[in-house]
Amino acid sequence: MRNIKDIMVVGFALFAMFFGAGNLIFPPYLGLVSGSSWLTGFAGFVLADVGLALLAMLAAAKCNGEVSKILSRSGKILSIVLGCAIMVCLGPLLAIPRTAATTFEMGIAPLFGGFNPVIFSIIFFVLTLLLTIKPSKVVDIIGSVLTPALLIALAVLIISGIVSPLGDISSTSMIENVFVEGINQGYQTMDTLGAVALSTVIIATIDNKGYKDEKLKVKLTLQAGIVASIGLCLVYGGLAYLGATVSKIYGVDVVQTSLIVNITSSLLGQPGKIILALIVGLACLTTSVGLTSATGQYFTKLTNGKLKYELVVIVVCIFSAIVSNFGVSTIIQFSAPILSLIYPATVTLIVLTLFGDKIKNDNVFKFATYTALIVSLLTVANDFNISIPFVLKLPFASLGFNWIVPVVIAGIVGNFVRSKKAKYNKLNRVA
C-alpha cells in the first residue's frame, strides 16, 4: 500500500511539473488548426511530448537521476555544454519565465486588467522561491496538495466543453501536415528536456522516502511516469478537442493564450475566468517550482557544491522574473530555433542511454550526438534564410525527423572506431 501511495504522489507531482504553460496553450491551438484531423495532430503531439518524456524518465532513472550521466558518454566537453544548454533553456531563459508570463496573460490580466506585470512577476517568483528552497519537500507539496486542485479545475473545463460543444468541427484543417504540426507543438512544451531535468528531483524524493535499491527506484520512477503520462494524455486530448470545436470560429492567426481564455469564457462565463486563472496559476507554479529546483540541483552537482543550491535558485528566480516580462509570444518565438537545435542531440542520448549496457563503445554516442547537432544546426540555418537544401531532402524531413537516418549511420560508423577507453582497457588487460 505504501508503494502505491508513493507512486501516486510522485506521479501526480510529475504530471503537475510537466503540465505547465505550453501544455495548456498548445493543444487547443493544435485542435483549432487541425479541425476534423485533430486526433492526428494529437497523436503527433503525444509522441513528441509524452512518449519522449517517458523515455527520458527511464533513461534518467537508469542514471540515478543525474543529468550529467546521461550526457557523459558523448564526451566531457559536449556533455557539459549540452547539459548547461538544456538547464538554461529549462531554467531562466525559456521555460520558467514562460510559466509566469502565461499565468499573467491568461489568469491575471483577464480578471485584473490594470495589474502591473512587473509586480506580478515579483510575487510569482517569490512564491516559487519559497516552495523551492527546501528541495526535499518539493514533490510532496506538489503531488499531495497542488495537483488534485489542478486536476479538478481541468476536469470542470474539459467536461463542460464535451457536454456542450461550442460549435461544429471544421471538416478541413488550416495547415498542410497536421501530424508534423503536432510534433512541433510537442517539442515546444519542452517536456522531454524537462523529464531529463526533473528526474533529479524525482529520484531524490524516492530516495528520501527510503527506497535505496537501484532497480526498485527505476521501477517506481517508471510507474510514476506512467501515472503522469495517462493524466497528460487525457488532458491533452480534452484540450485539443475543445480547440477543434471552435475551428469554424477562429483563424490560424489567433493568439494562442487568447484562444484558451475565449474558450473558457464562452463555456463557463465569468466564473470560467476564475477557474482558468486557477488552472493556469497551479499548472505554471508547479512547473516553475519543479524546474527551478532541478536547475538548482544540476548546477550544484556540476560545480561539486561550489555553487550552493540556495544561491542558484535565487539567481534563477530573479533572472526569470526579468525575462517573463517580455511576454509569452516573444519567449515562444525565440525558443523555437534553440529547441530545434538541442532536441535531436538530447533525444539521441536518451535512446542510446536506454541501451547503454549493450553499447560498449563510447564512439557510438559521440558520433551519433555530434551528427544530430550538425544536422540540427544546418536545418535551423534554413529557417534564417541560409540555404542548405540537402538537409530538407533527407529521409523523414517532412515529419521533422531528418536527423534520424544520419544519426543511425553515424552511430554504426562510430561502433567500428575504437575508443580511447577501449584501447586503455585492452592495454590494462595485456599488462
Give the tens place of pLDDT for each residue, 354-364.
888 888 899 99
Distance from CA of residue 227 to its chain's centroid?
16
Q: Is 343 inside a domain boundary?
A: no
Q: What gap in Å lies between CA 371 and CA 379, rounded to an integer?
A: 12
Average of per-residue pLDDT across 246-267: 87
How is residue 66 annotated by DSSP?
A: -
What would the 3-class secondary structure string for 291-353 be?
Answer: HHHHHHHHHHHHCCCCCCHHHHHHHHHHHHHHHHCCCHHHHHHHHHHHHHHHHHHHHHHHHHH
Q: State whether 319 and 403 are in the same domain.
A: no
pLDDT (tens digit per residue) in 120-178: 999 999 999 988 876 556 556 666 666 777 788 888 889 999 999 999 999 888 888 88
Q: Are 191 and 54 in contact (CB under 8 A)?
A: no
Average pLDDT over residues 42-71: 83
Q: Which of 373, 287, 51 is nearest to 183 (CA)?
A: 51
> In 10 A of CB 136, how many CB atoms?
13
Residues 202 and 99 placed together within one structural domain of the fold: yes
- Whether 224 has a pLDDT exceeding 70, the answer reads yes
Rounded-to-integer distance, Cα 10 and Cα 229, Å: 12
Give percent above pLDDT 70 in the chain.
93
Q: Which of 316, 308, 289, 300 is nearest to 130 (CA)?
A: 289
- Judge contact between 222 and 9, C-beta under 8 A: no
End-to-end C-alpha distance for the chain, whole angstroms: 53
CATH of the domain at 52: 1.10.4160.10
Domain end (from 287, 309, 328) = 328
Q: Is residue 167 one of the residues assigned to a domain?
A: yes
pLDDT higher than threshold 50 for residue 431: no
- For the record, the C-alpha cell of 143 comes out as 503531488
* 417: in domain: yes
In a domain, 257, yes or no: yes
d(CA 56, CA 48): 11
400 and 322 in a common domain: no
Q: Which are the contacts of 124, defined by CB distance < 8 A and separation ≥ 6?
A: 99, 100, 103, 104, 285, 288, 321, 324
For residue 399, how many other CB atoms are within 10 A of its CB? Answer: 13
Sign of CA dihedral 267, 43, 338, 18: positive
Look at residue 354 and tell me if it is in a domain: no
Top pLDDT among 291 and 423 is at 291
Dihedral sign computed on CA atoms, order 203, 206, 207, 212: negative
Question: Which residue matches cell numbers 503525444?
Answer: 46
Helix (DSSP H) and strand (DSSP E) numbers for the chain: 19, 0
Could you give the maximum distance between any two Cα atoms of the chain, in Å? Answer: 79
Please tell me the predicted confidence (pLDDT) of residue 253.
87
Among 308, 328, 348, the domain-final residue is: 328
Q: For residues 115 and 43, state if they share a domain.
A: yes
Most confident of 10-14, 88-92, 155-159: 155-159
Examine residue 348 and state whether it is found in any structural domain, yes or no.
no
pLDDT averaged over every residue in the chain: 84
Give the 3-state secondary structure of residue 124.
helix
191 and 145 inside one domain: yes
User: Within this chain, do residues 311 and 411 fall inside the same structural domain, yes or no?
Assistant: no
Question: Residue 421's pLDDT is what?
Answer: 59
Select from 287, 310, 328 the last residue of a domain.
Answer: 328
C-alpha torsion 146→190→44→26, nearest 10: 60
DSSP assignment string, 157-218: HHHHHHHS-SSPPPSS-SSS-HHHHHHHHHHHTTHHHHHHHHHHHHHHHHHHTT---HHHHH
The total domain count for the chain is 2
Domain match, 22 and 85 both: yes
Shared domain check, 176 and 225: yes
Query: Per-residue pLDDT tens for 295-321?
Result: 888 899 889 889 999 999 999 999 999
* Highest mean pLDDT pick, 2-6, 212-216, 356-360: 356-360
Return the percent helix, strand and coil in the chain, to nearest 5: 80, 0, 20
* Pairwise pLDDT comparison (216 vs 44), residue with the higher score: 44
How is residue 391 annotated by DSSP?
A: G
Considering only 10-19, 131-140, 305-314, 381-390, which range has the smallest mean pLDDT?
131-140
Q: Do 191 and 292 share a domain, yes or no? A: yes
Indicate the range of 24-33, 158-167, 354-363, 384-393 predicted with least confidence. 384-393
> Is 181 found in the same domain as 51?
yes
Question: Does residue 349 form part of some domain?
Answer: no
At 274, the pLDDT band (50, 70, 90 cuts) reads confident
Mean pLDDT of 75-88: 86
CB-CB neighbours of 164 under 10 Å: 11
Residue 308 belongs to domain spanning: 2-328
Give domain status of residue 303, yes or no. yes
Report the candidate in 282, 288, 11 with the shortest Cα–Cα distance to residue 150: 282
Distance separating alpha carbons of residues 75 and 253, to the nearest angstrom: 43
pLDDT at 427: 37
Same domain, 211 and 140: yes
285: Cβ–Cβ under 8 A, 6 or more apart, which residues?
99, 103, 124, 127, 128, 131, 146
Whether residues 75 and 218 fall in one domain: yes
